[in-house]
């Protein structure tokens, strides 16, 4: 029956307007739907009244403003029309909205699919105007002003950073969108059905509200389908929200909402600001919460302020220490942390992120408290929070998201995997392969990354192509990768004929069908170094044993930190091992006991070699003396009667002569290294005697004439007695100067972290954290180990930067090849440089040229001009005499500086002509620690620039993408 007149309830009358349902503002606890009261008009049959009766005007249904569906194509053409996404009315159970959103108009949002109990659908093509207050009921209750966005692919729930779903853009294209006829431009907040503010990115300031069912995934799907199909609105039940929140917790800046000020498709994203969370805003119902939230998409923080600023107060910079939310990645400063994360019942999560599963990339940091947290809270509190972080259900790895050999794990299998003696590190959701026999473990399609405990009853049969190998060689039924094959070859495992091996967990291997064990791959000490270089795993229990050349490569730095690889290369005697050793001392990478023992033996045998060279020189000088004497005698006393004194300045006692003969014989046979350390005890007294011997000292004074004696020999010969003793322990400097320490295999590898910079008062520790956030690996390789045409360079394909070392003093030095041809060493270095920079493996690699031995350059230039090298023929610097003198006083060595710049330029030109890239150059004196430190830091900086440039480009493109998607 159509009412002829209506008398609204007095309490609701002033605000009735176009409302279709009325909240009488009742007493608080009643459900919204039950609060609605209607007054019906009845026909007046009493006595005539003497005053004007208010008249209800009959409503023409046809004239009620309605929303009509609009095809997306037409919407896109006429972008000035505000688009309203359907709103689902949430009917809270037994709860009244805590606060109403502040709206400047009540009839502002239309929906095509009114699904709440208080608003019945008006048919497939009609939308009805709903008071927006319904939304506040559905508000999910943890708004705190944190900035998170929901991933577009699963964007059903918006949280924190109330950004519209990326998928809206798509949905607008694929659906009929609805134009709210009475949309109001001045909303003080854009509120999604979940009670959260939605910032419609793709429509910018168009007032969007997306239906985000809260109850459970099944219903969410229904709701979402309804959203996709507005005509089907009847079928959706009333959405109930598990949480309540006040919409006052947020407000959007008016400028973003004013259509006139902000063009509809403006690329500038709306700015949303939040007030501080009020504890009363946050109402959680724990029971519903975990099952609802754990199924939800993980929010992702979007940086609200400038780079490096706190996500809450928007202050600070990247140098300010911050704590990161393990869910959305939002970063908070010391002052904001507790306000943003509250009591941290699930560890370091924004209050809005509680209940969400964590970012898998941050799994490695679970339970590892930061310094900031320790400063902020007591030890007990930190312990408690970290305990919760590790143990709370929301942070656990979902077993079904881990598959091993094609089988998704059950909870029990995951437990087996995680609780075995040597579990996989960094286990994240994903597909893995597992070789049960050997314990090899890796990601599907990739080489092994770890050797875990063998024989675990986890996963199905391993697939031949599990690691995407293409070598035709099988290990335990898996076709191995190229790198593994390289490793086997270097371990001297015969791989001809494409064999199939059985490899057991202890490293013993046999060919398929054979009973006999052919060998043991881990018994070869070089293999561990090779594995470190190739980023292949080694068995956990052999990590620390006998890694003579590993030099700390296996030091257990935090696994979750990325590894940055520097490859140090250079021609013979360019100084690579000196730089490598310097880096070891610099970064405090200790030598193991074994290594120290080997170094001691090496230094002592070097000492005997130097002594041998001096003794050889003594013989030569003695002989020269004798010849001189004979000549003189012939002149002075011609005839047979002349008697010649056999003793010269260079003559030694018979005992020392015997020692000298023995030493020179051993050296000639090439067995000097073999007789140590046994020789030390026996021959140390001779060294002492020699050092006091006048002939030996006289020879030593003429050491410059001994071509074979390296300049470092002086350093050791002056302490010959001390070094020859059995009690000798090499100092750091001894190690630095010692020859041959890193070249036994020609391959050395160490891992290090850059030390933290000195503490600066205003610059806090993010920079310091940054320093330690990256592990570095320095690999040094001798060119002779690169094989013919540098074919083994392939092994180093994943290095981040190549440090190519050239000795500045090589320009006037020559070496003789086996055909007797003399080659300038600088030109030989250039040739190697060319080979390496043009090698296909190093295409597009970053190169840093280390011009070494600068300390010797000035002195050398005085004796020998740079133009001695044909490549430097046009070096002709104009050096002011005054400047020259002045700078010499200041030890600035201008000629050496000029020469350095000139040589650097020659290399840069060459590099650019061959690669079209830029060559970086650093000046080094390998024996001086600071210069090596500077060079390595420079290498790190170069990589940071590269990365920043890359990030910048990525950011740019993602901005462009977002921007273009909004137009």
Ligand X SMILES: Nc1nc2c(ncn2[C@@H]2O[C@H](COP(=O)(O)OP(=O)(O)OP(=O)(O)O)[C@@H](O)[C@H]2O)c(=O)[nH]1
Least CB distance to Mg ion at residue 577 (A): 3
Least CB distance to ligand X at residue 655 (A): 32
Question: Residue 855 touches which of Mg ion, ligand X, none (CB < 5 to 8 A by kind)?
Answer: ligand X
Give residues with Cβ within 8 angstroms of 281, minimum separation 6.
98, 141, 143, 144, 245, 246, 248, 249
Least CB distance to Mg ion at residue 569 (A): 13
| Spacing of C-alpha 37 from chain mean position | 61
User: Is 442 or 575 the residue whose CB approaches Mg ion more closely?
Assistant: 575
- Tell me, residue by residue from 870 to 909, as one string, x for binding to ligand X by CB under 6 A and - for no binding: ----------------------------------------
Least CB distance to ligand X at residue 746 (A): 7
Least CB distance to Mg ion at residue 743 (A): 5
565 strand-pairing partners: 777
- Tell me, residue by residue from 728 to 747, as one string, x for binding to Mg ion by CB under 5 A and - for no binding: ---------------x----
Least CB distance to ligand X at residue 809 (A): 8
Give the span between the Cα atoms of 79 and 394, in whole angstroms. 42
Select from 144-152, 518-526, 756-764, 919-927 the region that touches ligand X (CB under 6 A).
Answer: 919-927
Looking at residues 401 to 440 of the shown chain, list those that interact with ligand X (rule: CB under 6 A): none
609 binds ligand X (CB under 6 A): no
852 binds ligand X (CB under 6 A): yes
User: Is 568 or 720 the residue whose CB approaches Mg ion more closely?
Assistant: 568
761 strand-pairing partners: none
Q: Is the dihedral of CA 138, 142, 148, 153 positive or negative?
A: negative
Paired sense of beta strands 474-475 and 500-503, if any = parallel
User: Is 449 or 599 the residue whose CB approaches ligand X more closely?
Assistant: 599
856 binds ligand X (CB under 6 A): yes
Residue bearing tokens 């004196």: 925
User: Is 805 or 919 the residue whose CB approaches ligand X more closely?
Assistant: 805
Question: Residue 124 touches which of Mg ion, ligand X, none (CB < 5 to 8 A by kind)?
Answer: none
DSSP state of 462: P
Paired sense of beta strands 272-274 and 478-479, if any = unpaired
In what side-by-side order are the strands of the sheet with 500-503?
Answer: 478-479, 474-475, 500-503, 508-511, 519-520
Least CB distance to Mg ion at residue 578 (A): 7
- Tell me, residue by residue from 525 to 564, as one string, x for binding to Mg ion by CB under 5 A and - for no binding: ----------------------------------------
Looking at residues 65 to 104 of the shown chain, list those that interact with ligand X (rule: CB under 6 A): none
Residue, CB closest to Mg ion: 577
Looking at residues 749 to 788 of the shown chain, list those that interact with ligand X (rule: CB under 6 A): 782
In what side-by-side order are the strands of the sheet with 83-84?
Answer: 68-71, 176-179, 83-84
Q: Which two tokens stand for residue 867?
A: 């133009």
Question: DSSP string of 598-656?
Answer: HHHHHHHHHHHHHHHHHHHHHHHHHHHHHHHHHHHHHHHS-STT-------TT---HHH
927 binds ligand X (CB under 6 A): yes
Looking at residues 567 to 606 of the shown chain, list those that interact with ligand X (rule: CB under 6 A): 570, 572-578
Give the span between the Cα atoms of 138 and 215, in whole angstroms. 10
Give the span between the Cα atoms of 315 and 334, in whole angstroms. 11
925 binds ligand X (CB under 6 A): yes
Considering only CA atoms, which of 97, 138, 92, 91 is closest in space to residue 117? 91
Residues binding Mg ion: number (CB under 5 A): 2
712 binds ligand X (CB under 6 A): yes
Paired sense of beta strands 250-252 and 272-274, if any = antiparallel
Cβ atoms of 434 and 394 closer than 8 Å: no
853 binds ligand X (CB under 6 A): yes
Q: Using CB under 6 A, which of 159, 743, 777, 922 touches ligand X?
A: 743
Give the span between the Cα atoms of 94 and 885, in whole angstroms. 93
Q: Using CB under 6 A, which of 173, 794, 855, 962 touches ligand X?
A: 855
CA dihedral 130, 132, 138, 142 (to 10 degrees): 170
| Spacing of C-alpha 405 from chain mean position | 28
User: Is 236 or 576 the residue whose CB approaches ligand X more closely?
Assistant: 576
User: Is 565 or 782 the residue whose CB approaches ligand X more closely?
Assistant: 782
926 binds ligand X (CB under 6 A): yes
Looking at residues 532 to 571 of the shown chain, list those that interact with ligand X (rule: CB under 6 A): 570
User: Is 96 or 600 the residue whose CB approaches ligand X more closely?
Assistant: 600
Q: Is the peptide bond before 606 cis (omega within 30 degrees of 0)?
A: no
Give residues with Cβ within 8 angstroms of 866, minimum separation 6.
811, 872, 875, 899, 902, 903
Q: Using CB under 6 A, which of 250, 433, 686, 737 touches ligand X?
A: 737
Give the span between the Cα atoms of 303 and 958, in whole angstroms. 14
577 binds Mg ion (CB under 5 A): yes
Least CB distance to Mg ion at residue 854 (A): 18
Least CB distance to Mg ion at residue 452 (A): 38
User: Is 806 or 896 the residue whose CB approaches Mg ion more closely?
Assistant: 806
Least CB distance to ligand X at residue 670 (A): 17
Question: Residue 734 touches which of ligand X, Mg ion, none (CB < 5 to 8 A by kind)?
Answer: none
Give the span between the Cα atoms of 179 and 77, in whole angstroms. 14
Cβ atoms of 116 and 134 closer than 8 Å: yes
User: Is 125 or 572 the residue whose CB approaches ligand X more closely?
Assistant: 572
Select from 390-398, 421-429, 681-689, 924-932 the region that touches ligand X (CB under 6 A).
Answer: 924-932
- Tell me, residue by residue from 687 to 726, as one string, x for binding to Mg ion by CB under 5 A and - for no binding: ----------------------------------------
Looking at residues 154 to 213 of the shown chain, list those that interact with ligand X (rule: CB under 6 A): none
Residues binding ligand X: number (CB under 6 A): 21
Question: Residue 239 touches which of ligand X, Mg ion, none (CB < 5 to 8 A by kind)?
Answer: none
Q: Which two tokens stand for residue 409?
A: 């794990």
Question: DSSP string of 356-406?
Answer: SPPPGGGGGGTT---HHHHHHS-HHHHHHHHHHHHHSGGGSPPGGGEEETT
Q: Using CB under 6 A, which of 32, 359, 435, 739 touches ligand X?
A: 739
Question: Residue 429 touches which of Mg ion, ligand X, none (CB < 5 to 8 A by kind)?
Answer: none
Cβ atoms of 486 and 534 closer than 8 Å: yes
Residues near ligand X (CB under 6 A): 570, 572-578, 710, 712, 737, 739, 743, 782, 852-853, 855-856, 925-927
Residues near Mg ion (CB under 5 A): 577, 743
């Amino acid at each position: 029956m159509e009412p002829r007149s209506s008398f609204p309830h007095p309490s609701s009358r002033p605000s009735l307007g176009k409302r279709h349902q009325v909240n009488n503002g009742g007493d608080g606890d009643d459900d919204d739907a039950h609060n609605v009261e209607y007054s019906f008009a009845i026909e007046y049959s009493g006595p005539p009244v003497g005053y004007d009766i208010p008249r209800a005007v009959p409503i023409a249904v046809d004239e009620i403003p309605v929303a009509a569906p609009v095809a997306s194509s037409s919407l896109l053409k006429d972008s000035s029309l505000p688009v309203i996404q359907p709103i689902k009315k949430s009917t809270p159970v037994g709860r009244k909205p805590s606060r109403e959103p502040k709206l400047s108009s009540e009839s502002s949002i239309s929906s095509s699919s009114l699904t709440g109990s208080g608003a019945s659908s008006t048919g497939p093509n009609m939308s009805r105007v709903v008071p927006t207050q319904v939304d506040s009921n559905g508000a999910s209750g943890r708004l705190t002003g944190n900035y998170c966005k929901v991933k577009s692919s699963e964007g059903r729930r918006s949280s924190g950073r109330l950004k519209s779903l990326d998928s809206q853009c798509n949905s607008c294209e694929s659906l009929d969108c609805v134009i709210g006829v009475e949309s109001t431009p001045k909303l003080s907040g854009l509120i999604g059905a979940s009670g959260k503010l939605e910032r419609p990115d793709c429509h910018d300031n168009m007032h969007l509200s997306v239906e985000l069912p809260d109850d459970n995934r099944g219903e969410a799907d229904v709701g979402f389908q309804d959203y996709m199909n507005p005509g089907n609105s009847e079928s959706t039940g009333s959405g109930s929200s598990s949480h309540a929140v006040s919409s006052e917790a947020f407000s959007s800046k008016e400028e973003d909402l004013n259509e006139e000020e902000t063009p509809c498709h403006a690329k500038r994203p709306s700015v949303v600001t939040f007030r501080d969370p009020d504890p009363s805003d946050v109402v959680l119902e724990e029971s519903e919460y975990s099952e609802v939230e754990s199924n939800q998409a993980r929010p992702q923080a979007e940086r609200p302020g400038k780079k490096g600023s706190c996500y809450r107060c928007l202050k600070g910079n990247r140098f300010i220490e911050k704590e990161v939310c393990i869910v959305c990645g939002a970063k908070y400063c010391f002052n904001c942390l507790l306000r943003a994360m509250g009591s941290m019942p699930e560890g370091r999560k924004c209050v809005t992120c509680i209940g969400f599963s964590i970012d898998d990339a941050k799994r490695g940091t679970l339970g590892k408290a930061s310094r900031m947290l320790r400063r902020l809270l007591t030890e007990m509190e930190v312990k408690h929070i970290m305990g919760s972080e590790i143990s709370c259900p929301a942070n656990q790895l979902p077993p079904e998201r881990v598959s091993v050999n094609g089988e998704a794990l059950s909870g029990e299998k995951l437990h087996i995997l995680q609780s075995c003696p040597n579990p996989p590190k960094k286990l994240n959701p994903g597909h893995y392969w597992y070789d049960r026999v050997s314990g090899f473990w890796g990601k599907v399609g990739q080489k092994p990354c770890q050797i875990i405990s063998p024989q675990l009853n986890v996963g199905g049969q391993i697939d031949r192509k599990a690691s995407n190998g293409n070598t035709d060689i099988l290990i335990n039924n898996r076709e191995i990768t190229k790198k593994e094959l390289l490793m086997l070859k270097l371990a001297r495992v015969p791989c001809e004929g494409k064999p199939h091996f059985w490899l057991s967990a202890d490293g013993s291997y046999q060919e398929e069908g054979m009973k006999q064990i052919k060998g043991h791959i881990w018994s070869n000490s070089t293999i561990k170094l090779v594995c470190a270089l190739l980023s292949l795993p080694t068995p956990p229990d052999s990590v620390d044993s006998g890694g003579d050349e590993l030099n700390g490569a296996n030091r257990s730095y935090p696994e979750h930190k990325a590894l940055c690889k520097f490859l140090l290369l250079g021609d013979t005697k360019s100084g690579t091992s000196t730089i490598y050793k310097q880096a070891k001392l610099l970064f405090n990478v200790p030598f193991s006991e074994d290594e120290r023992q080997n170094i001691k033996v090496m230094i002592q045998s070097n000492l005997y070699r130097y002594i041998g060279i001096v003794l050889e020189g003594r013989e030569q000088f003695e002989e020269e003396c004798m010849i001189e004497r004979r000549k003189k005698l012939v002149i002075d006393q011609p005839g047979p009667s002349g008697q010649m004194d056999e003793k010269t300045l260079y003559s030694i006692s018979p005992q020392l002569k015997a020692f000298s003969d023995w030493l020179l014989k051993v050296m000639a046979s090439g067995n000097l290294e073999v007789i140590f350390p046994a020789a030390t005890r026996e021959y140390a007294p001779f060294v002492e005697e020699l050092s006091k011997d006048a002939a030996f000292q006289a020879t030593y004074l003429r050491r410059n004439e001994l071509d074979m004696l390296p300049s470092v020999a002086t350093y050791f010969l002056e302490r010959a007695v001390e070094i020859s003793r059995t009690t000798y322990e090499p100092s750091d400097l001894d190690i630095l100067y010692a020859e041959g320490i890193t070249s036994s295999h020609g391959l050395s590898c160490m891992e290090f972290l850059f030390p933290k910079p000195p503490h600066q008062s205003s610059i806090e520790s993010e920079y310091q954290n940054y320093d330690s956030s990256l592990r570095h690996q320095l690999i040094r390789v001798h060119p002779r180990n690169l094989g013919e045409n540098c074919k083994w360079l392939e092994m180093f394909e994943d290095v981040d930067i190549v440090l190519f070392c050239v000795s500045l003093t090589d320009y006037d030095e020559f070496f003789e090849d086996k055909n007797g041809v003399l080659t300038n060493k600088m030109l030989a270095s250039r040739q190697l440089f060319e080979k390496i920079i043009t090698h296909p493996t190093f295409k597009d690699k970053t190169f840093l040229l280390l011009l070494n031995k600068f300390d010797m350059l000035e002195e050398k230039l005085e004796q020998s001009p740079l133009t001695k090298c044909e490549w430097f023929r046009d070096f002709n610097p104009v050096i002011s005499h005054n400047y020259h003198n002045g700078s010499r006083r200041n030890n600035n060595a201008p000629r050496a500086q000029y020469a350095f710049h000139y040589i650097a330029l020659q290399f840069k030109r060459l590099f650019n002509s061959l690669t079209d890239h830029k060559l970086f150059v650093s000046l080094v004196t390998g024996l001086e620690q600071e210069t090596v430190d500077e060079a390595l830091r420079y290498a790190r900086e170069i990589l940071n620039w590269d990365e920043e440039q890359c990030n910048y480009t990525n950011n740019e493109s993602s901005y462009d993408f977002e921007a273009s998607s909004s137009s």
